[in-house]
Structure 1
Amino acid sequence: MQNHIIFFSGGKSSFSAADYVKTHFPDDNIVLYFTDTLWEDEDLYRFIYEASDKLELPMLIHSRGITPAQLMVQQKFMANNRVGTCSKELKMKVSSKYLKKGIVPDVEKWHNKHFLKAEDFITGATLYFGIGFEEMHREGPIRANWKPFEVEMPLIENIIDNDAILAKYGIRQPRMYDMQFSHNNCKGRCVKAGQGHFKNLLMKDEKTFIELMEQEIIISEYIRYCKQPAIKSGKLPDHMYKDVWEFVSSGRKSEKIINILSNTDYLKSKRRLLGEDNKGQPINKAYTFMKTLSLEELEKQPIQCDIWDIGGCGCFVEYEANE
C-alpha cells in the first residue's frame, strides 16, 4: 500500500486531483492536506468538508493560528505582489516543516480520520498538486522544492474537466468562482493580486474590500511608525502594537485606529515627518499590496484600473526547501 498526499487548497483543481488519486489508487493510503490561513471564505470550508465526506478521504488541517494580516503586524512587513510572505510563512513553511521534519504546527485538526488506512501516511508518499497547464510555470519550482518527494500534477498530464468532476459528486463549486474570481484563496484578499482582481472584490464584496483597505492603511502606518529610530532601537516603547493587533484580529477600532483612518490624507501630506527606510531616507510613500496603487486609491478611482491585472498567489513557488 502506497501513501498519497493531495495538497488540498479548496479550489476546483485540487478537488479534481483528489478524485484522480482516489480513482486510480482506491486501495492506497490517501490524505487531503489543507494548510489554513484563517483568512478564507466561509464557503471554502463548506466545500473542503463536503469534499472530504463525498470522496470518503481523511483530511488533515494545519495552521499557525494567525492570519496574513496578523503575520504582517508581527513581522512589521507588508506582504505584497512582489513578496508573498504570508503564503510562504503560513502555507509553505508549515507544510514543509511537517512533511520533511515532522514538526507539527500550532493548530492541527482531522476530519474523517477514520478513513485513514495507515497511521504513517508520509513515508514514501507521492505529493499531488492541482496545477493545470495554464500554471505550468509553477511546475519546476514545486518539483524542486519538494525533493526528495515524488510530485505529480494530474491536471497537466491529463485532460480533466473540473466542473464534470464536481457534478460527478454532486458538489456545488465554491462561491468565489460564482463571483468570477480565478481562485478560491483568502476570500479574494490575496495580497499578490492585481488591480482587476481587487476591482472585482470591490464590486462583488464591498464589505470585505473596505475591511482589507482599512487593514492596508493601518498596517502601513504601523510599519512606518515602527521605523522611527527611537522605536526601532527600543529607546521608546511601541504604543501602537496593542491597538493594531486588536484591529487586525477582531476589527475593533480604538481611538488611535479611528484617528488614523480619519486622517489618511493628512498622513500622506506629512509622511516625511515619521520613519526612515533602510538607507536612512525619509519614507514618503505608503506601503501597499500592489506596486503602483493602494486599495484606497483604487476604491476612489476604480474605473481607471487595469482589469487584466489579475495576479495570484502561486503558493509553493517562492519557498526554498532548505530554509
Structure 2
Amino acid sequence: MKNHIIFFSGGKSSFSVADWVKTKYPEDNIVLYFTDTKWEDDDLYRFINEASDALELPMLTHAEGLNPIELMFEKKLVFNSRIGDCSKVLKMRVARQFLKKGIEPEVVEWRNKQYLKSDDFVTDATLYFGIGWEEMHREGPIRKNWKPFDVVMPMIEEVIDNAEILKKYGLTEPRLYKMGFAHNNCMGRCVKAGMGHHRNLREQMPEVFKELMEQEHHLKVCVDAFRYIKKIPDDEIDEEYREFLYRQLDDAYRDYFYGRAKKPKVYVSPALTMEKGLIEFTTYSFMKRSRKGVTKPFPLRDLNREIQQESSQIDIHDVGGCGCFVEFDENDNDDDASETMSCKINTN
C-alpha cells in the first residue's frame, strides 16, 4: 500500500485531482492536505468539507494560527505584488516543516479520519498538485522544492474536466468562481493580485473591499511609525526607551489587527509626532507603472478613487495572484518558524 498526499487548496482543480487519485489508487492510503491561511471564504470551507465527505477521504488541516493581515502586523511589513510572505509562511513553511521534518503547526484538525488506512501516510508519499497547463510556469519550482518526494500533476498530464467531476459528485462549485475570480483563495483578498482583481472584489464584495482598505491604511500608519522610531538617532534616544516605544506601539494596534477591536487604540507620544508626508507610505497590493516606466506605490485607496472616477488607468486584465508553493525562502530557518515577530521591522 502506497501513500498519496493531495495538496487540497479549496479550488476545483485540486478536487478533480483528488478524484483522479482515488479512482486510480482506490486501495492505497490517500490524504487530502489543506494548509489554512485563516483568511478564507466560508464557502471554501463548505466546499472542502463536502468534498472530503463525498470522496470518503480523510482531510488533514494545518495552520500556523495567523492570517495574512496578522502576519503583516507581526512582521511590520506591508505585503505587495513583490513580497507575499503569507504564502511562504502560512502555507509553504507549514507544509514543509511537517512533511520533511515531522513538525506539526499550531493548528491540527482532521475530518473523516476514519478513512485513513495507515497513520504513517508521509513515508515515501507521492505529492499531488492541481496545477493545470495554464500554470506550467509553477511546475518546475514545485518539483524542485519538494525533492525528494515524487510530484505528480494530473491536470497537466491528463485531460480532466472540472465541471464533469463536480457533476459526478453533485457538488456546487465555490461561489468565488461564480463572482468572476480566477481562484478560490483568501476570499478574494490576495495581496499579490492586481487592479482587475481588486476592482472585481470591490464590485462583488464591497464590504470586504472596504474593510481591506481600512486595514491597509492602519497597517501603513503602524509600519511607518515603527520605521520612524527606528530612524531616531542613537544620541537622542537610548535603546531601552526605543524598545519601550516599540512595545507601546505594538500594543496600541494589536487588538485591531487580531480582530478584538474595531479601531486601533489611540496612542499619542511626542516621540511619535510626524509631519504629514515625512515618511513615504509603502504599497499594499500592487504597483502602478507610470508613463515614464517608473513603478510607484498604488494603494487600495488610490484604486478606489480611480474606480469612482471611472479612470482609464485601471487595467482590468491585471489579475495576478501569489501562485502558492512556488517561492520557498532558502534563507528561512525552519527551526525558528514559530518565533514571534512582534516589533521586528523590514526596511527593504
Q: TM-score when scaled to structure 2?
A: 0.84
Q: Is residue 313 from structure 1 mapped to residue 322 from structure 2 by the alignment?
A: yes
Contact 1:146–1:321 (CA<8 Å) still a contact in 2? no
Q: 1 CA distance for matches of 2:166 and 2:267?
A: 45
**Once the 2 structures are TM-superposed, how far is the Cα of residue 299 of structure 1 from its aligned partner?**
1.1
CA distance in 1, matches of 2:305, 2:102: 48
Partner Cα separation in structure 1 for residue 264 and residue 63 of structure 2? 32
| 1:241 counterpart residue number | 250
TM-score (norm 1): 0.90
For 1:52, give the aligned amino acid: S
Name the SS for the 2:286 alignment partner.
coil
- What displacement does 1:47 show? 0.2
| 1:65-121 CA distance string (max 9 Å, x none) | 111000001011111111110000000000000000000000000000000000000
1:25–1:255 CA distance, 2 compared to 1 (3 A): closer
Partners of 1:136 and 1:100 lie apart in 2 by 24
Extract unaligned runs of 5+ from structure 1: 260-266, 273-282
SS in 1 for 2:258: helix
Q: Which amino acid is the alignment partner of residue 28 of structure 1?
A: D
Q: Secondary structure of the residue that 1:212 maps to in structure 2? A: helix
CA contact (8 A) 1:243 1:256 kept: yes
Rounded Cα–Cα distance in structure 2 between residues aligned with 1:244 and 1:4: 43
Residue of 272, 284, 287 corresponding to 1:288: 284
In 2 relative to 1, CA 230–318 (structure 1 residues): closer, same or farther, beyond 3 Å?
Answer: closer
Once the two structures are TM-superposed, the CA of residue 311 in structure 1 deviates from its matched residue by 0.4
User: Which residue number in structure 1 is paired with residue 20 of structure 2?
Assistant: 20
Quote the Cα distance in structure 2 between the aligned partners of 1:140 and 1:320. Answer: 16
Superimposed CA distance per residue, residues 253-295 of structure 1 (whole angstroms, 9 cap, x where no aligned partner): 3464699xxxxxxx9x8121xxxxxxxxxx3234322123211
Question: Structure 1 residue 244: deviation in Å?
Answer: 2.0
| Alignment partners' CA distance in 2, 1:290 and 1:43 | 26
SS at match of 1:142: helix
**2:59 aligned with 1:59, yes or no?**
yes
Could you tell me how far apart the structure 2 residues matched to 1:211 and 1:231 are?
30
Structure 2 gap segments, 5+ residues each: 233-238, 269-273, 289-297, 333-348
The one-letter amino acid paired with 1:307 is I
- 2:79 touches 2:283 (CA, 8 Å); kept in 1? no
Q: Aligned equivalents of 2:218 and 2:18: distance in 1?
A: 40
1:46 maps to a residue whose letter is R
1:221/1:132 CA distance change after superposition, 3 Å:
same
Aligned pairs for 1:1-323 (under 5 A) are 1-229=1-229, 235-236=241-242, 237-238=245-246, 239-250=248-259, 252-254=261-263, 256=265, 270-272=276-278, 283-292=279-288, 293-302=298-307, 303-304=310-311, 305-320=314-329, 323=332
Secondary structure of the corresponding residue to residue 287 of structure 2? coil
Contact in 1 for aligned 2:57/2:116 (Cα 8 Å): yes
Q: Structure 1's 286 and 115: CA in aligned 2 closer, same or farther, altered over 3 A?
A: same
**CA distance in 2 between partners of 1:234 and 1:197 (Å):** 44
Aligned length: 305
